[in-house]
A and B are shown apart, each in its own frame.
Chain A
């Protein structure tokens, strides 16, 4: 069977929303989860990847690392008033190094829906599936 392309989706959670990324590697799944999170805020297609921000996280396991990675992005979005649409992610021994590409928020053009308060441990799961695909997911509080 042809492995599916990396992709993301949202899943339901009462008051908030779940983000889920799939990919052929842990890095791809983390990248897709980050795209899913951005897509909670605005349309990915209208974000110009013209500025970069470097991010580093280190955690004891890959699930805590996913929450840390998403929260690092939440922090950069909040303090730089930026929004990101492309990510280069490398993970080795639960140390994540990434470059996020994006641009300053333009309220008129991006029409951001909500601001994300933080990534949570609810429905948190990072796993390699039987077909070799990686899945990385959690609920984000908005």
Chain B
């Protein structure tokens, strides 16, 4: 992106003044080099979002922003329903409530290393991954609706997990206001056999070691110590979320003119929050959030079972579960007054600061854990939300590395076996049903996640707490 079009407000904040039909400014949080590497499309998309009715404050882009669908991936925008504000299916994304969950294991590096290969194999055998895989749980229509209303709470009621898991999940494991009736039969059909599956693409389950602590106090609160072994799960609402996204995107494209909305880009399709399409999408999208929470909860259960075969003493407690493709109704302070807004985070993680009422008691004084996934060969990071982030971008931070190379180019550049062997030589075991999938997800095809989290930290969106590196990666 050409930085001459931007007004530099600080080392890590760049502003685009409203022009054309923009109702508010656009603000990009990133270092100069990250901004320069960003696609020009990010500029276009972050400005387009600023044109949408009812937008409040500014249209934001996180340090990992890249070309998305209507909204940039890494885009954050809040809307006021009473001021004609809209909800956008593209602003949430196809993979509704895709997110990251991190589990403690109570194990250390010394315990894992001798059994690393067995652990990779037992996880790969027990966690369904990749295209065509099916879960062990098949839902009948009644159970499907219960799951869509109850999320991870329903899952725990069914025996897949612990009550304590819910406290460490956004929305305490259950998104209120879900309307299973607004989820089509097609979407439910796509999900029937997919509960408890990782999916494919950049989704994974990783066994990681803590390699660096940046802030000892927060690390203690989050129970993170050097050489601890953690397990992180990155996946979303599977076929159900994709189908809801597909169907409502079309409904929003078709109905936008009737709502008096002129779209600068069809992919930006949206509907007023106070319209039938807007309300119906909200109900369906919230059901999609519950599906993602339930899915990660089931995978947690499968992971616990698998790990206990090798380490019966291991106790897999939850650190936290964050979602990075959502629209949530939240209270924020705008010009000194509290307002309830619908905050879209497309490829952006909620990063609530200390004292927030939604945080569990034992984390409230610290702030929310912000879980940032890396790639197979690089690091993942744990950050903490700050008071500053609440006032900067509605309490939001980045979500991951973002690709720097297309899938096509990656497949031409690497072979899956070669990537797998190189990583094994570095002590990272990859298990995947597809060698081609490994090539497409080669670590070299991604941007440097370290630069992204450093920018988030320096911009004040969230503070760095710890770095984790992979030992085992189960890839869809």
Contact = CB atoms under 8 A, between A and B. Distances in A.
Interface of A: 10, 12-17, 40-42, 60, 64, 67-68, 71, 74-75, 78-79, 81, 105, 107, 111-115, 117-122, 124, 139, 141-142
A10 B411 CA distance: 13
A15 B403 contact: yes
A83 B354 CA distance: 49
B433 interface: yes
B200 A114 contact: yes
Contact of A111 (B73, B95, B269, B434): B434
B73 A15 contact: yes
A15 to B, nearest CB: 5
A17 B130 contact: no
Contacts of B200: 112-115, 142
Nearest to A124: B266
A13 B67 contact: yes
B249 A14 contact: no
Contact of B403 (A14, A71, A79, A81): A14
B243 A141 contact: no
B81 to A, nearest CB: 25
B267 interface: yes
A118 B440 contact: no
Nearest to B347: A15
Contact of B253 (A10, A17, A64, A142): A64
A89 B73 CA distance: 34
B402 A141 contact: no
Interface string B120-140: 000000000011111000000
Contact of A10 (B95, B408, B440): B408
A121 B249 contact: yes
B440 A113 contact: yes
Q: How large is the interface on B (under 10, 10 to 19, 20 to 34, 35 or more residues)?
A: 35 or more
Interface of B: 39, 41, 66-69, 73, 94-95, 130-134, 186, 189-190, 199-201, 239, 242-243, 245-246, 249-250, 253-254, 266-267, 269, 402-403, 406-409, 411, 433-437, 440, 476
Given A79-B189, A141-B69, A112 B403 contact: no
Nearest to B437: A113
Given A14-B403, A15-B403, A114-B131, 12 more contacts: A14-B68, A16-B407, A64-B253, A78-B239, A107-B133, A112-B200, A112-B434, A113-B436, A114-B407, A120-B267, A121-B253, A122-B69
A14 B434 contact: no
For B132, B239, B254, B408, which residue has the most chain A Cβ atoms within 10 angstroms? Answer: B132
B408 A107 contact: no
B406 A14 contact: yes
A133 B180 CA distance: 45
For B66, B95, B267, which residue has the most chain A Cβ atoms within 10 angstroms? Answer: B267
Contacts of A42: 436
B350 to A, nearest CB: 21
Contacts of A119: 246
Given A79-B189, A115-B199, A121 B434 contact: no
A121 B130 contact: no
B131 A14 contact: no
A92 B189 CA distance: 29
Given A12-B408, A78-B239, A111-B435, A117 B94 contact: yes
B190 A75 contact: yes
A139 B408 CA distance: 13
Given A14-B403, A17-B406, A115 B267 contact: no
Contacts of B436: 42, 111-113
